[in-house]
Amino acid sequence: MYRVMLADDNKFALEYFSQLVDWKKQGFELVNMSIDGVEAWNNFCHYEPDVVITDVEMPGIDGIELTEKIRAFRPETIIVFLSSYDEFDYARAAIDLNVKDYILKQELDAASLEKKLKEIFEILQIKENKNKKVFTGYLQGCFQMASGEIDRELYQEVFQKNCGVFFIEQDHIPCELREILKKETPEADSGKIISILENTVSEVEYTIHIKKYRWLCLCRKNTSLEQNAYKVQSQLQFLKPLQFSSIIFGEMNDIIQLRERYDSSEFTFQQRYFEGSEVCIFADLSEQPNSVSVSGKEKIRRELENGNLEGRLLDQMFRPLFIRGDYQTFIYEIQEIACVLEQKANELALDWKLDCLESTELVTASQIVQWMKKKIAEFSEKKENAGECSSEVIKGVIRYIYHEYQNAFLSVEEIAENAGISVNHLNDLFKKEQGETVGKFLTRIRMERAREILNGGEKMSVVAEKTGYTSTSYFARVFRKYYGVSPQEYKVGIRK
């Protein structure tokens, strides 16, 4: 909505005009009514309305002087003169000062005021759309260019605007962890976010998508930034399960200073991971912590191998980092530990990838640690169960090999997949129970069967095919390596 202000030294006239139309229905918000010119000027400086409807004759500062001051301070403001007199001098002053209209009070009724407001609304919309497109382009350029490439004089000339600044950050998995966790949080539709804010939160004048997961919001001056941020977060609830937080920077009138402050405040956005999801953070209250070394990777690895790893070890490791808000060390430790856990997950044939729901839930430091504790619990459970069921697994593997050994394409990977465990884990179990690896066991079964077939007098090509070899020469090499003689020599020995 556009903001409008009334000024008239006649309080009855002021009250009458304020109730003459439904301002909101016309697309306006009546932000102030001033009883004289001095009060009107002070209130104009505070509210900076888009439209001023003022009486011409007022004590202290009349409508003409008020308009001159407004034109010097905010020339784009639309001004309408009200007067009880049809004076030529007033009409001429109105023309000289580029006043939108000169209206006689006695001729002003609801219909005529609504008509004027409609005209003004259309003018403001055309002007706003044009200015917004230009201004938005400058803003995006300022935040997307390298700081050294910014034309400081140009941007300071264009950006002559006092406004409140806050950022909307979509809560997301830290970008540094996307590779190790095999997933990233899906980004919200930026066009939808901008549309929601522009159509529902009137205090937000500009919303700019400046990088993945992050939007800059510029608000009208003298509005509560905290309330505006909460309004925005409330409207974005419609995009659940996606979540959004806000980081409040305060009021600013220099875009270059804003960019410089933004560049040096990334740690403030990182603090959000320790504050939680859907939070509101004040940048002025954030302090960048000094990073400390923890290095728990080897301890985690040892405890995993010994089967003694419990979630509370992670709590002990990360509690100091949570207290300090040490994001850099937290990310480093998570990456190191995640590598260990991923390796263990592969050994136990556990799924390490995040599902779609988890990719929108692991958006705080606490949630990430809790997820890792859950994985550790799964490892422990799998390891406990492994002792009970490993014999059954190996029996199944042996049955599968006896059934499939004639398949030339049978591999250890296929056997492990059929058993539902990783190759490394299968070989560890198999060797523990059978004293040899799966590959060696498969070769032994094939060679024993080959010898039996050769004893029956079959040709070598037939023997190779029946024992899972597509190449007769390769079969012969394996046979010689296993028995110390070639298949032909073995057959000659049988005849003797």
Q: What is the pLDDT of residues 270-309, one digit of tens each?
A: 999 999 999 999 998 888 887 766 666 677 767 766 666 6
Segment holding 168, helix H or strand E: strand 163-170
| Structure tokens belonging to residue 307 | 């089967």
Q: pLDDT tens, 14-70? A: 999 999 999 999 999 999 999 999 999 999 999 999 999 998 888 889 888 999 999
Q: pLDDT tens, 324-345? A: 889 998 998 888 888 877 877 7
Q: What is the DSSP letter of 375?
A: H
The predicted structure's pLDDT at residue 106: 80
Q: Are 349 and 378 in contact (CB under 8 A)?
A: no
The predicted structure's pLDDT at residue 481: 93
pLDDT at 130 over 90: no
Residue 14, CA distances (Å) to 30, 81, 368, 427, 461 in order: 12, 13, 60, 90, 109
SS3 label, residue 209 = strand
pLDDT at 183 over 70: yes
Amino acid at 159: F
Q: In terms of pLDDT, which residue wins out, 267 or 92?
A: 267
Q: pLDDT tens, 354-413? A: 665 666 778 999 999 888 888 777 776 666 555 555 678 888 899 999 999 999 889 999
Q: Per-residue pLDDT averaged across 453-467, rounded?
A: 89
Q: What is the DSSP letter of 349?
A: T
Return mean pLDDT, the chain: 85
The predicted structure's pLDDT at residue 117: 92
Amino acid at 223: T
The predicted structure's pLDDT at residue 440: 93
pLDDT at 146 over 80: yes
Q: Per-residue pLDDT averaged across 117-135, rounded?
A: 86
Give the pLDDT band (50/70/90) at residue 495: low
Sheet with 214-219: list strands edge to edge: 204-211, 214-219, 163-170, 244-252, 280-282
The predicted structure's pLDDT at residue 348: 64
Please give the Cα distance from 443 to 448 (Å, whole number).
9
The predicted structure's pLDDT at residue 213: 96
- For a pLDDT cut of 70, what percent of the chain falls above it? 88
Q: Are 232 and 223 in contact (CB under 8 A)?
A: no
Please give the Cα distance from 281 to 352 (Å, whole number).
33
The predicted structure's pLDDT at residue 434: 86
| Structure tokens belonging to residue 99 | 């006043």
**Any residues with CB less than 8 A from the CB of 94 and at least 6 apart, and which?**
81, 101, 102
Q: Per-residue pLDDT averaged across 179-202, rounded?
A: 88
Give the pLDDT band (50/70/90) at residue 87: low
Give the pLDDT band (50/70/90) at residue 81: confident
pLDDT at 118 over 90: yes
pLDDT at 115 over 80: yes
Q: Say what the alpha-carbon torsion angle 19, 23, 25, 29 is, to the nearest 10 degrees.
A: -140
Q: pLDDT tens, 231-245? A: 999 999 999 889 999
The predicted structure's pLDDT at residue 316: 80
Q: pLDDT tens, 414-447? A: 999 998 888 888 888 898 888 899 999 999 999 9
Q: Per-residue pLDDT averaged across 60-81, rounded?
A: 89
Backbone angles phi, psi at 424, to 5 degrees: -60, -45
The predicted structure's pLDDT at residue 100: 74
The predicted structure's pLDDT at residue 477: 92
Give the pLDDT band (50/70/90) at residue 223: confident
